[in-house]
């Protein structure tokens, strides 16, 4: 399943949430969650962790052009293009500049079959724009988490984009909100009434949790960080990260998304399906 994380305005913490979801996603020997940096404006993870650019988004996009899907069942094809980050989650990283990423994001949206073959691909789409390159991946997703700051201006912008969010529903993409900013000014019902979207999570402000995902050494002590990193690799015991509210919240959201069944049949269907759904979204954007 592809889970897209995106925003419609501002910089509400999309990349951080995508990384947290990947780190917290329920893992099994056959399901290794992979974050895919598919923000057309450029990636961050490579810079956060001083990783090399390749393998990464460009080679994944090039591979997606292959005519015949020949990936064996149970094999996550994204791992070939992903790097294990120091906090323990895998990521397909992208170059920091938009001109290196736009084409690759568009290409992946045209042929999202490699993303769909992964048990859990968490795509950071950044800010979605009308007719932007990210719409293809968004339309091919099983679920879309829209991050929005719980501020009247940002909520009003989201409400004004109902033609796009309704288009997601029509394309068979389950969509819900992740509220950021930690303000709790409005109830879930009020936000749903204004935007037409359910509140799936309220992301806590958590400097340590965000710092952990960015690879920062923070004043919690080496042993605590080592235990947290080991959790992100093994995921056997939630104790080592339960004290980070961001990771705890991401785990609840990941479990919710993982257990909910996609509405559209043929989750791993032909590439054409992704194209059709993207075209449908473009038509309403
Ligand atoms: N839940 C959080 N708690 C504390 N800090 C956070 C949280 N989420 C994000 N941040 C911080 O906010 C800043 C922006 O976060 P991030 O890069 O994830 O946003 P973005 O929406 O992806 O922005 P961009 O438009 O640059 O892609 C970063 O410094 C990050 O560490
Ligand atoms: Mg970002």
Residue-level pLDDT at 278: 58
pLDDT one-digit tens code per residue, 98-121:
999 999 999 999 999 999 988 899
**Backbone φ and ψ of 82, nearest 5°:** -105, 160
Per CATH, which fold does 2-119+134-142+153-260+269-284 belong to?
Rossmann fold (3.40.50)
Q: Closest ligand 1 atom, CA of 124? A: 22
Give the environment of ion ligand 2: residues with CB less than 5 A: 14-15
| Per-residue 3-state assignment (H helix, E strand, C coil) for 85-112 | CCCCCEEECCCCCHHHHHHHHHHHHHCC
Mutational pocket test of ligand 1: of 11, 122, 202, the residue with most ligand atoms within 8 Å of the beta carbon: 11
* Top-confidence residue, 67 or 147: 147
CA–CA dist 98, 106 (Å, integer) = 12
Ligand 1 pocket, 149 CB below 6 A?
A: no
CA–CA dist 170, 108 (Å, integer) = 21
Ligand 1 pocket, 47 CB below 6 A?
A: no
Vertex 262 angle, CA 273 and 236, to 5°: 125
Please, are residues 29 and 234 in contact by the beta-carbon 8 Å criterion?
no
User: What b/e sequence results for 161-179 when a residue is b if at least 16 CB atoms lie within 10 Å of its CB, and e otherwise?
Assistant: beebbebbeebbbbbbbbb
State yes or no: cis peptide before 55, omega within 30 of 0: yes
CA–CA dist 274, 266 (Å, integer) = 11
* Top-confidence residue, 220 or 200: 200
What residue has token string 């399943």?
Answer: 1
User: What b/e sequence results for 88-122 when a residue is b if at least 16 CB atoms lie within 10 Å of its CB, and e otherwise?
Assistant: bbbbbbbbbeeebbbebbbbbbbbbbbbbbbbbbb
Domain ranges of the chain: 2-119+134-142+153-260+269-284
HSE-CB of 196 using CA atoms within 13 angstroms: 15
Q: Closest ligand 1 atom, CA of 18? A: 18
Residue-level pLDDT at 240: 61
For the cut 80, the answer to whether the pLDDT of residue 232 exceeds it is no
CA–CA dist 93, 130 (Å, integer) = 24
CA–CA dist 40, 95 (Å, integer) = 10
User: What does pTM read for this prediction?
Assistant: 0.89
* Maximum separation of any 2 CA atoms in the chain, in Å: 52
Choose from 72-86, 181-195, 239-253 the range with maximum mean pLDDT: 181-195
* Top-confidence residue, 34 or 75: 34
pLDDT one-digit tens code per residue, 158-209:
999 998 898 998 899 999 999 999 788 899 999 999 999 999 999 999 998 9
């Amino acid at each position: 399943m592809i889970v897209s994380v995106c925003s419609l305005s501002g910089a509400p913490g999309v990349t951080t949430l995508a990384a947290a979801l990947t780190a917290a996603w329920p893992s099994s020997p056959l399901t290794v969650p992979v974050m895919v940096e598919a923000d057309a404006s450029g990636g961050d993870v490579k810079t956060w962790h001083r990783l090399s650019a390749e393998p990464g988004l460009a080679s994944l996009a090039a591979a997606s052009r292959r005519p015949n899907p020949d990936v064996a069942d149970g094999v996550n094809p994204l791992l070939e293009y992903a790097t294990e980050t120091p906090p323990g989650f895998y990521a397909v990283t992208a170059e920091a500049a938009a001109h290196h990423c736009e084409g690759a994001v568009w290409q992946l949206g045209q042929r999202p079959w490699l993303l769909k073959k992964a048990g859990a691909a968490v795509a950071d789409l950044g800010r979605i724009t009308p007719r932007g390159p990210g719409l293809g991946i968004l339309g091919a997703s099983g679920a879309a988490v829209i991050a929005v700051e719980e501020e009247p201006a940002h909520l009003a912008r989201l409400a004004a984009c109902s033609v796009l969010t309704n288009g997601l529903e029509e394309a068979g993409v389950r969509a819900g909100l992740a509220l950021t900013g930690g303000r709790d000014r409005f109830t879930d019902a009020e936000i749903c009434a204004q935007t037409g979207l359910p509140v799936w999570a309220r992301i806590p402000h958590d400097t340590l949790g965000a710092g952990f995902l960015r690879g920062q050494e923070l004043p919690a002590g080496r042993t605590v960080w080592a235990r947290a990193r080991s959790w992100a690799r093994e995921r056997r015991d939630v104790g080592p990260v339960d004290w980070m509210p961001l990771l705890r919240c991401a785990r609840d959201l990941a479990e919710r998304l993982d257990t909910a069944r996609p509405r559209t049949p043929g989750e791993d269907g032909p590439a054409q399906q992704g194209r059709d759904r993207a075209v449908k979204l473009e038509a309403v954007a």
